[in-house]
């Protein structure tokens, strides 16, 4: 509940003192730091980089901009800054500008104070009401941000056009004594960006040449993609000069950090079946492979939303199989259910477009699986490096490869009944022996998941052929597949 003061007199008796927004944020930040309370709850991976820079900007009373590629939590960080505001703030009632009851800034506010004195009514703004954000688009106008003359209001209330009461205030002055955020700043037209100069430098605004100086008290924060990386627009140099701190965001530095972020953002209360951590890692690796791929536009970035959506798709695929009568446990083939999450969020360069988005997505998933495979199993020798004059030395996969060379194959798919799925994998006894020797499955279900991982790893190394048609995946000896194709 807000404090009890209803008018200026009661507010004065309470001992309330006014302070600027930037001072309020600075002092509340210092208090939070001393108490050990979390400053930006839910933000992971920025503890040593971005968050200290935001704290420095707030302690310095700076307006600031977060500069980074998409999916780097820029908007979320800006919203969390509002948590450092006071829970409640008194404002003078009767004006739209959230004016300080002790020091109003508009002619109307000053008139109310002069006429009513200590009886001037006040109301209380909550912390949430003091934060507002605007997505910059090319059609945003100065009227939207700053304000304009309202001729209809002038006619209706019979006011002279020179009276400041005819001004319809824009979103920025209405956020006086609060925080205003502009997302994707380069999308604002240059002439609109010019309109922000005075607010940043002099803390005041002008509307249509009105002889009115309105000193605003607010924190302005912005987000943007690096201007060299966007075709949509740029931040004009004079505006960049007036934004006191520029803070660069980034993608997670490690897969572990990325996994923690993904798990915190999954839109489910719980997962109703076991989901091994290394499977999370395989899904997270898709984004890391995409950020290094020659087929992906690196200037556009690969959002953290790729991994979040991919995990949700994989979980849903397992859930769908369970509802249809299967066992609620993931299979490695479920990872290919993540393709729609990848194709919808990864921008391709010309070479990638030539390959096709689905083919690139499959390639990235395969590369991610290969990376995780090497975390658990020995690296297979390179195919084709054997000396024809000498017999090849046995290695960990020799028995399994020879099993496939005898004309055997393994068939799996995501809709296969559990008994049939296990029976297909159990046919290759060397496969289970490999898992027992090198992996540490938590139970029998995970052992089958590891078996699929071995097959995928040998396919990536060129030892097995992988044929997929209609969701059915066949693993067989690569030469047997070639001869079968020739025979056909």
pLDDT of residue 225: 86
Asked if domains 8-248 and 398-487 share a fold, the reply is: no
pLDDT tens-place string over residues 389-427: 454 567 889 999 999 999 899 999 888 899 999 999 999
Q: What is the mean pLDDT of the chain?
A: 88
pLDDT of residue 402: 92
pLDDT of residue 488: 46
- Segment 266-273 long-range contacts (CB within 8 Å, at least 24 positions apart): 266/308, 266/311, 266/312, 266/315, 267/312, 268/312, 268/315, 271/315, 272/319, 272/328, 273/318, 273/319, 273/322, 273/328, 273/329, 273/330
pLDDT band at 483 (very low <50, low <70, confident <90, very high): very low
Q: Is the pTM of this model over 0.95?
A: no
Asked if residue 34 has pLDDT above 80, the reply is yes
Q: What is the DSSP letter of 274?
A: -
- Count of residues for the chain? 488
pLDDT tens-place string over residues 317-352: 999 998 887 678 999 999 999 999 999 899 999 999
Assigned CATH for 8-248: 3.40.50.300
Angle at 462 between CA 460 and CA 432, to 5 degrees: 70
pLDDT tens-place string over residues 361-391: 999 999 999 999 999 999 988 765 554 445 4
Low-confidence winner among 54-58, 139-143, 260-264, 279-283 (lowest mean pLDDT): 139-143
pLDDT of residue 332: 94
Chain CA centroid to CA 67, Å: 14
Domain residue spans of the chain: 8-248, 255-376, 398-487
pLDDT of residue 132: 95
pLDDT of residue 412: 93
> What's the half-sphere exposure (Cβ side, CA atoms, 13 Å) at 481?
16
pLDDT band at 235 (very low <50, low <70, confident <90, very high): confident
Q: What's the fold here for domain 398-487?
A: Arc Repressor Mutant, subunit A (1.10.10)
pLDDT tens-place string over residues 281-316: 999 999 999 999 999 999 888 999 999 999 999 999
d(CA 487, CA 23): 80
Asked if residue 136 has pLDDT above 80, the reply is yes
**Residues whose CB is less than 8 angstroms from the CB of residue 85 and which lie 6 or more positions away in sequence, other chains included:** 21, 24, 25, 28, 127, 130, 131, 178, 179
Q: Report the percentage of the chain scoring pLDDT > 70.
A: 88
**Residues whose CB is less than 8 angstroms from the CB of residue 272 and which lie 6 or more positions away in sequence, other chains included:** 319, 328
pLDDT of residue 37: 92
């Amino acid at each position: 509940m807000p404090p009890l003061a209803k008018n200026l007199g009661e507010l004065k008796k309470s001992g309330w003192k006014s302070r600027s927004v930037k001072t309020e944020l600075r002092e509340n930040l210092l208090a939070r730091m001393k108490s050990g309370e979390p400053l930006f709850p839910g933000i992971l991976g920025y503890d040593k980089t971005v968050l200290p820079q935001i704290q420095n900007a707030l302690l310095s009373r700076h307006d600031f901009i977060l500069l980074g590629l998409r999916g780097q939590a820029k908007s979320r960080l800006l919203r969390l800054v509002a948590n450092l505001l006071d829970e409640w703030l008194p404002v003078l009632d009767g004006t739209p500008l959230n004016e300080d009851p002790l020091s109003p800034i508009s002619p109307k506010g000053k008139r109310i104070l002069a006429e009513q004195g200590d009886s001037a009514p006040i109301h209380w703004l909550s912390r949430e009401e003091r934060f507002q954000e605007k997505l910059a688009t090319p059609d945003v106008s100065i009227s939207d941000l700053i304000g304009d003359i309202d001729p209809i209001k002038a006619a209706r209330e019979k006011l002279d056009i020179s009276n400041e009461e005819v001004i319809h205030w824009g979103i920025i002055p209405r956020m006086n004594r609060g925080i205003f955020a502009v997302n994707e700043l380069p999308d604002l037209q240059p002439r609109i960006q010019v309109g922000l100069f005075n607010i940043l430098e002099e803390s005041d605004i002008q509307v249509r040449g009105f002889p009115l100086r309105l000193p605003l008290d607010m924190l302005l924060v912005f987000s943007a993609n690096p201007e060299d990386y966007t075709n949509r627009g740029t931040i004009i140099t004079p505006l960049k000069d007036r934004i006191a701190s520029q803070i660069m965001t980034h993608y997670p530095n490690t897969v572990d950090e990325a996994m923690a972020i993904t798990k915190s953002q999954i839109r489910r209360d719980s997962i109703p079946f076991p989901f091994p951590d290394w499977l999370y890692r395989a899904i997270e690796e898709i984004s890391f492979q995409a950020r290094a791929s020659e087929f992906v536009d690196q200037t556009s970035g690969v959002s953290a939303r790729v991994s979040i959506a991919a995990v949700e798709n994989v979980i849903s695929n397992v859930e769908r199989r369970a509802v249809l009568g299967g066992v609620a446990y993931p299979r490695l083939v479920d990872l290919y259910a993540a393709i729609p999450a990848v194709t919808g969020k990864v921008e391709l360069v010309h070479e990638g477009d030539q390959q096709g988005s689905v083919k690139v997505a499959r390639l990235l998933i395969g590369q991610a699986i290969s990376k995780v495979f090497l975390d658990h199993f020995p690296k297979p020798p390179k195919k084709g490096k054997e000396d024809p004059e000498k017999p090849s030395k046995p290695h960990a996969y020799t028995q399994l490869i020879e099993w496939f060379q005898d004309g055997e194959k393994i068939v799996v798919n995501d809709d296969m009944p559990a008994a049939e799925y296990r029976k297909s994998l159990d046919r290759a006894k060397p496969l289970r022996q490999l898992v027992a020797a090198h992996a540490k499955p938590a139970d029998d279900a995970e052992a089958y998941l590891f078996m699929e991982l071995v097959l995928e790893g040998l396919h990536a190394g060129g030892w097995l052929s992988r044929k997929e048609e209609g969701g059915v995946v066949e693993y067989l000896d690569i030469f047997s597949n070639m001869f079968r194709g020739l025979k056909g």
